[in-house]
Chains A and B, each alone.
Chain A
Amino acid sequence: MTTFALVFLAIAALFAADTYLARMESSESAIEATRLFNEGQAMVARGDNLNAIERIRDALSIQRTNRYYQQSLAEAQLAAGRTADAEVTLRGLLESDPTDGQANLIMGRVLAKEGRFPEAISYFHRAIYGQWGQDVPRNRLRARFELIDLLAQRDSKEDLLAELLPVQDQVPRDLKTRTRMGRLFLRAGSPARAIDIFRGIVKEAPFDADGYAGLGESEFTEGNYPAATRAFESALRMAPADDSVRKKLDLCHELLALDPTLRGLDPAERLNRSRKLIELAGEELSKCVAAGSLNQKAGRVTESNVDLAEEIWQARAKECKSQPAADDPLALVMARLAR
């Protein structure tokens, strides 16, 4: 009995001592881990990513279950270009919690950097619909915008539009964000939505050059050249030094000077423009087509021109009372063509 009593006493004393020692170790370890982690973060801020990885790993070796440290490690690894290591770190994190929004977001970035876009998009979606500790709507929106930027870079118009539509009404109403949305819609191949947004912007902020420039580009894409010209002119009034807008405006002017379908043009002008179009198109064709091929295409163009001349000549015969002179070369050629 005495031995048993002593053993139980020893167990109780050891339990108390162990608990005390464990707590002391735990608190000191936490302080040391925080110190190392902060050093690591400072290194990341300086761009010293390789040393930062070491420091954060040291912190993690003390507090191994700290998810924030693990996420930061993965971010540092990504920043250092060690995407394979970052992927391994994140897989461990996601294994324990596949719904972790931040871990999924970083994984999306890692895979995008590795060029594994379908997988990356999948992780971005998991981030958008994943669990976030705080400020959930803002974090989800941030994740979606990262995905949107990725899709915009890849010029995936349909996917981009599919991501933009759900957030259209969720984004903040500030000018910067709305301008960004307008440009993204434009990039997604939806200029009509972009026009709506930019019209709203210039209505609210009539002196916003970016708004006018965006509106101009949207109208231009939609084919509304006069409206685009007006918008670019307004943008240039707000920001006369903007060369890119000036170039677009010049383009609009050239375009408008060439278009035979514009309203208000007299027929002669339309005819002139159509001739000019044929001439310019022929010139353009000759720039990029080999001689033999050009002869064939030129033959087809010539036939079209001859047909058009015959049509006009027949119209003249109906409309004009006076007959052409018998030795008029044009009348002779037309007669021969008619035969």
Chain B
Amino acid sequence: MSGSNGRRDGLLGGAAPARALFTAGALLLPAFLFQQDPFVRGLQILLFLGLSAASGRRIRILQILLAGVGIVAFNLVIPTGRVLLTVLGLPVTEVALRSGLLKATAVIGMIAISQFSLRTDLEIPGRLGGLIGRSLFYFQLIMSRRNRIDRRNLIGSIDDLLLDLQGSVTAAGGAGDRTRRTTPAGAAALVALVAANWAVFLYTVIQPYPLWGK
């Protein structure tokens, strides 16, 4: 288990139990994913990355930038919309660019949200809840170890990864932390965080693309 996955220290870790963080993350997801302005999404990502850092996670800026540029470039392959400029003879079209930016920010943002809102001691009530929580945590583990997947040895490297992961949640989750309570400051911070993101989202429903332009 990588060190970053089980960390509970840091600003948020000390102020809120896993369930409160997960609830905040779940409430933030729609306000983030349904946001259609790539610039607003970019600002949200900066906030989420800051929260991840506050949770004791290591932020790899270069990796994030490379992933984002790659996704945008990949999406520009299919030209859609008016041509904004031409790079090396290839047209950069508006709709394809916006689609690429939305996809790139969605992936990076979801990773950032999951990094600060999912912890090993998370216990969602009910059998299906437990299964979803466990599945999301496995997703987080796979994402954190995705560099181990080797394109030249795809089958072998995925196999190694699965061997490594099988049972790791049980090993890591163990006792859980039912005694931890949300401090008043932690609760206020989480409520403010969710409310601010929803307020921005609702504003952009009324006033679409405030930063990108229509």
Pairing of A with B: no
